[in-house]
Structures are given as C-alpha cells and as structure tokens.
Amino acid sequence: MPLLLILLGILPIAASLYRLGDLAITDPSTIADPDVLRFFAAPSSIAMHVAFGSLFLILGAFQVSAGFRRAHRTLHKRMGYLAALSAVVFSLSGVWIVFTYAPHSLANPWIDVGRVFFGTAITAFILLGIWAAISKDLKAHRAWMIRGYALAASSGIQSYLIAIVTVINGAFDPEIADSMIWLGWVIGILAAERIIVGKRGDGLRPTTSSYRQ
C-alpha cells in the first residue's frame, strides 16, 4: 500500500520540484508571461508548499498503512509528528498562496474556493487526529488522519486525471482540467470514507471509545 500511494504522488511531486527548480535558476527579468512571473513574487511560499507537501505525501503513505503501523509502532509514532507538521505547513501555505499570488489569467474562481476549503480541511482533519491521539481514541485518530491524507493525495489523482484527458483530447483544455481537479477531490473524499468504513473491524471507524492496547 505505501508504494502505491507514493506512486500516486509521484506526478505532482515531480511537477512541483520542477517548478521549484525553475524558480531557483531562472532570471525573472527574462520572463514575459505574467502567469509564470507571478510565482517569483514570493518563491518562499512555493518552496514551503512543495517541500512539506512532498514530505507529507511520502510519510503519510506509510502512516496510513495498517501493516506498517502494526510492525513499527514506535517509528509510526515518531514519524507521525513530522507527518502532521508537514501536513499543516503544506495545507496552510497552499491557502496562503491563493490569497497572496496574482490569479492565473485562465483561473476559475471556484478552483480557488476549493483550494481554500480543502486546504483548510486538511489542517482541521490533522488537528482533530492529533487531539484524538492525545485523548487515546485511536479509532478516531486513524480515521481523521486517513481523511487528511486522502485530501492531500487528491493532487495525485488530479494530475493523472488531467494527463489522461489531455492525451485523449490531444490538447490541454482548462475547463476540463478544472472539472478533473474537482473530480479528484471528490474521489479522494469517497476513497477515504470507503477505507474507514471498510476497515471498521481494524479499528478505523471514529468512535468515542477509550484507548485499548
């Protein structure tokens, strides 16, 4: 499972790292396209979003794996601190970018609404997961963390969906791409709830039960 989740995130991670490398080596004075130039206004926000987002997609793939959790309980707990921190920085930096960067010339405002809503939701889910762990309610903890990771991993679903429809159509279509972004979020949400319900016997359904070893 971790390997499949990491493969799901490979495309957005690669694209984000390419963007970050481009920001590092390109002279802004040589760029005429305002849709590209806008990223040079505050590259640190992009750097934080890419670095912590990539880290969360990788660490989270192991954290939500029941097999890894059972085999490496201590490591799971230690990695959890870093995974939670990376999730919060990743999601909130993404929200920050929406409000501080100039919009793309072809931007659909509903996409930014989704980015703010789901970015905030990731942080909320992670914080609820941390509170559940502190309260020793591991069922709720795992459920909230799965929800948070699924929303973050939706970026991988979106990337593959956009790539597929672009190949089928023979050209990139911004309106179709916007639809695929929303579809990716929906798939992520449904997948998370399916996993939580499907793993009910493994203690993944949110409850108010007390912690048991």
Statement: residue 202 has pLDDT above 60: no
Statement: residue 2 has pLDDT above 70: yes
| 186: amino acid identity, one letter | V
pLDDT tens track for 118-130: 999 999 999 999 9
Give the residue extent of every domain in the chain.
Answer: 2-202
**Residue-level pLDDT at 207:** 45
**Residue-level pLDDT at 209:** 43
Statement: residue 206 has pLDDT above 70: no
**Residue-level pLDDT at 199:** 64
pTM attached to this predicted model: 0.85
In contact, 194 and 143? CB cutoff 8 Å = no
